[in-house]
């Protein structure tokens, strides 16, 4: 094992996925398990697929290609680029869409490759990332079903991302209405009414999920056990599936404030310091090129993050009862940003236990 390393407890992950799948199933909801934070690592995808996820979903077609060996259907989450239409059709069964020209490109690819592809129309309901206005959904659907090869599979919405808008009964009922209107006017049945991401899960607990919603796309909730609408732990889920380990390369007592003329730090930022006198400082061999260190949560009491440069992280351990020495390991819990960084970095060893 080399440091830094990311320890992944698969039994905890399995528990999280199974618990959420069960909770969703009780309300008639199927889950798309989102693999993007873990770069579609095959061991994560395997746990998802074996624990009852109805689909695997990712934002990147390279990641979905990696998942080809799993028989569960795949969903492309990010709006496809026209330039990748062929691969989207090759490697995904369904994609989320808001541009008719893209759906046309998918249709051409489907015909050319002699495949099937489902289109979910994204509806903009306040968060202001992807989606068409609800009043344009019917026209979009009418155009989409005319295109050869693509199936109109459903409608969906995304929240909690750009605008930080929280999904609720009201905005999700608007999605349900859009779906009902398309079904009625076009005489079809939509298979997927996708009511958002991890931020929508809380509505199940509060019994406020509109009955028409039958799909959620979940990443952070099953990986980190977090309710992203209210930044709190989800009952019965583990928040410590992942642990980062980093090694101490220096432990010394030094002042808390730098001396000399103060310019910019390694990242061109102006910094400020609080004078706490001489403190006990630890340097870890892990830096910003590994992951966003400020998004790590120390597991040990009395450990405070001070700062980081590309390859170093500095901690204040003055308040800790423990005597850290060179060669010791410090462990952290991960927020979503840290998790994304850890999986993306080739410098961090991934260890599944
Ligand atoms: C990333 C993503 C998700 C998953 O979001 P989580 O907050 O991790 O549950 C769902 N839908 C879309 C469109 C996404 O891009």
Joined tokens for residue 306: 């001070």
Cβ–Cβ under 8 Å, residues 99 and 81: no
For the chain, count helices (H), then strands (E). 10, 18
CB atoms within 10 A of CB 28: 12
Q: What's the CA-to-centroid distance between 158 and ligand 1, angstroms?
A: 8
Checking if the pLDDT of 1 tops 80, the result is no
Nearest to 85 by CA among 61, 67, 68: 61
Q: Tens digit of pLDDT for each residue in 128-147?
A: 999 999 999 999 999 999 99
Q: What is the CA radius of gyration of the chain?
A: 23
- Quickly state the pLDDT bin for 272 (edges 50, 70, 90): confident
Whether 79 is in the pocket of ligand 1, judged by its Cβ within 6 Å, is no
At which residue do the structure tokens 């959420």 appear?
20
Q: What's the CA-to-centroid distance between 315 and ligand 1, angstroms?
A: 32
Provide the pLDDT for residue 106.
98
Nearest to 344 by CA among 288, 268, 306, 297: 288
Q: What's the CA-to-centroid distance between 256 and ligand 1, angstroms?
A: 40
CB atoms within 10 A of CB 268: 7
Query: Which whole number is the average pLDDT over 220-226?
Result: 98
Q: Tens digit of pLDDT for each residue in 182-208?
A: 999 999 999 999 999 999 999 999 999
Q: Tens digit of pLDDT for each residue in 4-43?
A: 999 999 999 999 999 999 999 999 999 999 999 999 999 9
Backbone angles phi, psi at 70, to 5 degrees: -85, 135
Mutate to test the pocket of ligand 1, among 13, 217, 220 (most ligand atoms within 8 A of CB): 217
Joined tokens for residue 180: 């009902």
DSSP letter at 18?
A: H
- Quickly state the pLDDT bin for 299 (edges 50, 70, 90): very high
Rounded distance, CA 179 to CA 166, Å?
Answer: 20
Joined tokens for residue 167: 């999904």
Checking if the pLDDT of 281 tops 90, the result is yes
Known catalytic membership, residue 270: no
Rounded distance, CA 265 to CA 194, Å?
Answer: 45
Rounded distance, CA 316 to CA 325, Å?
Answer: 13
Give the pTM.
0.95
């Amino acid at each position: 094992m080399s440091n830094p390393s990311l320890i992944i407890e698969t039994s905890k992950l399995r528990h999280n996925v199974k618990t959420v799948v069960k909770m969703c199933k009780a309300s008639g909801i199927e889950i798309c398990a989102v693999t993007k934070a873990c770069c579609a690592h095959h061991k994560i995808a395997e746990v998802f697929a074996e624990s009852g996820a109805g689909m695997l979903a990712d934002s990147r077609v390279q990641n979905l290609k990696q998942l080809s060996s799993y028989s569960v259907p795949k969903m492309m989450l990010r709006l496809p680029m026209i330039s990748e239409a062929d691969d989207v059709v090759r490697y995904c069964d369904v994609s989320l869409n808001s541009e008719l020209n893209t759906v046309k490109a998918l249709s051409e690819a489907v015909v050319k490759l002699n495949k099937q592809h489902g289109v979910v129309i994204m509806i903009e309901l306040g968060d202001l990332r992807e989606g068409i206005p609800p009043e344009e959904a019917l026209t979009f659907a009418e155009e989409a079903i005319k295109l050869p090869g693509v199936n109109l599979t459903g409608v969906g919405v995304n929240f909690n991302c750009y605008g930080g808008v929280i999904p609720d009964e009201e905005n999700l009922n608007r999605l349900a209405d859009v779906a009902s209107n398309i079904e009625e006017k076009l005489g079809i049945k939509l298979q997927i009414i996708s009511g958002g991401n991890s931020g929508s899960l809380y509505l199940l607990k509060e019994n406020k999920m509109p009955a028409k919603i039958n799909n959620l796309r979940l990443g952070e909730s099953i990986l980190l056990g977090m309710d992203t609408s209210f930044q709190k732990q989800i009952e019965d889920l583990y928040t410590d599936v992942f642990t980062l380990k980093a090694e101490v390369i220096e432990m010394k007592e030094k002042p808390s404030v730098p001396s000399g003329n103060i310019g910019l730090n390694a990242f061109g930022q102006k910094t400020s310091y609080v004078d706490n006198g001489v403190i006990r400082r630890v340097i870890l061999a892990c830096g910003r090129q590994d992951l966003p260190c400020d998004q790590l949560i120390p597991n040990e009491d009395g450990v405070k993050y001070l700062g980081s440069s590309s390859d170093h992280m500095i901690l204040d351990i003055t308040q800790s009862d423990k005597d850290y020495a060179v060669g010791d390991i410090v462990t952290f819990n991960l927020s979503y940003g840290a998790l994304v960084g850890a999986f993306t970095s080739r410098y961090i060893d991934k260890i599944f236990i």
